[in-house]
Structure 1
Amino acid sequence: MLNLAVCDDNVDDLDKIIKYISIYEIRHNIDFKTYYFSDINDLKEYMRQAELLNIVLLLDVQMNANNGIDEAKLLRKNYGSKIRSVIFISSYPEFVFDSFGANPDGYICKPVVYEKLEKILSTILANFERDEREKKVIMIKDIDNNSTEIIPEDKIIAIQVMNSYDRSISITMENKSIIIHNRLNDLKEKLNKKYFFQIYRSVIINIRRVKAVKSGVVLMEDKDIVLPLSRLRRKKLIDKLDSFILSGMNESE
């Protein structure tokens, strides 16, 4: 089940969201575990201690001196395995184009209206239920211990060719890395093209895990991995990231 964590330092806006979530639960016959915060530091402490998974964060973009987008990036970095989705709430729609490093799944403009919140929660819930039914895994052989690994696709951060002669490939995940023997193109065919992109002749990344794109490199979240970016593929990567962000926005409109 999904768990909601809402953070907004505007008490009136927070009360309105609390009310709307309660209405949603009644109308859709669902019971979220929901936690509300008016201080980002309280949310951080909750995330540090929480044993729950599949947390949906609803964050105000502007909270006093704090930038909700930057805070979301830090939360993704430190507690990515606990977070299912991030939804930004703001009076400033232009912030959406600064937010791809936080991997948002939706954007709600203030003043918050029930219909908008209802649609975005229903989309996230439907996607969650679909993913639980159809969770994609990849079966690969780990040459370090000669065992078969079953890896959830969404846990992959990056895939890199280590040695083209013996076809050794490193797969970096949230909590470990493994080495396999395979062709990169064969592995690429197994991956969801919506979320994976080849940024260099020997590197494939999960775009949901991108922290920043800089000159000649891509910074990934979780382990602060820095990967080479082909000059010829930079524009395609930026376009793909923009499309990924906007698709999340459109689904919630």
Structure 2
Amino acid sequence: MISIGICDDEAPTRRALRTPLERKLQLLGISYRILEYDSGEALFSHPEREYLDIFFVDFEIKPIYGMETAKNLRKRNSHTLLIFVTAYPDFVFQGYEVHAFHYILKPYEEHKIQAVLEQALEELGRDREPYFTLERKSGILKIPLKKVLAFSSDRRKVVIFLNDGRRPDFYGKLDEVESGLPDYFVRCHNRHLVNLNFVSALEKDRCICGALQFPVSRAFRQPLEIAFARLLLR
């Protein structure tokens, strides 16, 4: 899921930016979440700011101006792609101070907004670390896949085993989780999906994954052995 923030003190202006973004994302079939803020203060009062992939900010918003908002966000979040929107081209050059990705001039042109969005999505595809995303009441939780040892089904819940010992869980099905993961996550059992990057040994009926052990069922043993061998040969 792509998380996008729009910061502008005028609701019609936010809507004029949001509408073409949604059209393009829906056309591309990309799951997204768009969050709107009417000021820099509103942005920093919400924990979701930590997980924004793309952030559109108006240079002229008050009381905290767009550049100050961008600087504060950049201090907290180095990976967000910052895109400034302004009616004054002279402001564009100030964006270099915060490593702005792009800019859009007012009044908005739909094709320009969508072209900048496409460039941002390409940049995210090249540089973004793969995450598993959970939506909770407190906000979005993004878990880097490089920290996940395994996913396990426990009745109606799925448990995530992390390499730091944490075990967050959520309501869901293991089949649905598996369909969105890279190919180094492989079933060892109907109830367990392991990250081959953490597997240190395969035995007759068990898989050693970090400090954990998971059962290996007969139905999944051969595909698991083949996937593990391929990983070792890379």
TM-score normalised per structure 2: 0.51
Instruction: Name which one, 1 or 2, has greater alpha-carbon Rg.
Output: 2
* Distance in 2 of aligned mates of 1:37 and 1:133: 26
* Distance in 1 of aligned mates of 2:113 and 2:102: 10
* Distance in 2 of aligned mates of 1:16 and 1:131: 29
Q: Do 1:3 and 1:52's aligned partners in 2 also have CA atoms closer than 8 Å? A: no
Q: Report the counterpart of residue 34 of structure 1 in structure 2.
A: 34
Q: Report the counterpart of residue 124 of structure 2 in structure 1.
A: 128
Quick one: which of 85, 88, 94 aligns to 1:92?
Answer: 88
1:5 deviation in Å? 0.7
Deviation string 1:26-73 (CA, Å, 9 cap, x unpaired) is: 222112111011122111112xx2385352110000013432012101
Q: Does 1:110 align with 2:85?
A: no
Q: Structure 1 counterpart of 2:116, which letter?
A: I
| Greater RCO structure (CA 8 Å; 6+ sep) | 1
Deviation string 1:168-222 (CA, Å, 9 cap, x unpaired) is: xxxxxxxxxxxxxxxxxxxxxxxxxxxxxxxxxxxxxxxxxxxxxxxxxxxxxxx
- The equivalences for 1:1-253 within 5 A come to 1-46=1-46, 49-50=47-48, 53-77=51-75, 79-81=76-78, 83-132=79-128
1:133 deviation in Å? 8.2
* Distance in 1 of aligned mates of 2:27 and 2:43: 27
* Distance in 2 of aligned mates of 1:133 and 1:41: 28
Q: Structure 1 counterpart of 2:25, which letter?
A: E
* Distance in 2 of aligned mates of 1:133 and 1:68: 27
Q: Structure 2 counterpart of 1:71, which letter?
A: T
Q: Structure 2 counterpart of 1:106, which letter?
A: H
* Distance in 2 of aligned mates of 1:68 and 1:35: 16
Deviation string 1:79-135 (CA, Å, 9 cap, x unpaired) is: 124x4200000001111122222110000000111111111111111111122489x
Q: Structure 2 counterpart of 1:80, which letter?
A: N
* Distance in 1 of aligned mates of 2:73 and 2:50: 14
Q: Do 1:7 and 1:36's aligned partners in 2 also have CA atoms closer than 8 Å? A: yes
Q: Which runs of 5+ in 2 are unaligned?
A: 131-234
TM-score normalised per structure 1: 0.47
Q: Which runs of 5+ in 1 are unaligned?
A: 135-253
**Matched residue SS, 1:66:** coil
Are the structure 2 counterparts of residues 75 and 116 from structure 1 closer, same or farther at C-alpha, using a change threshold of 3 Å? same
* Distance in 2 of aligned mates of 1:6 and 1:133: 23
Are the structure 2 counterparts of residues 124 and 13 from structure 1 closer, same or farther at C-alpha, using a change threshold of 3 Å? same
**Matched residue SS, 1:50:** helix
Are the structure 2 counterparts of residues 133 and 14 from structure 1 closer, same or farther at C-alpha, using a change threshold of 3 Å? closer
* Distance in 2 of aligned mates of 1:73 and 1:133: 23
Q: Report the counterpart of residue 168 of structure 2 in structure 1.
A: none
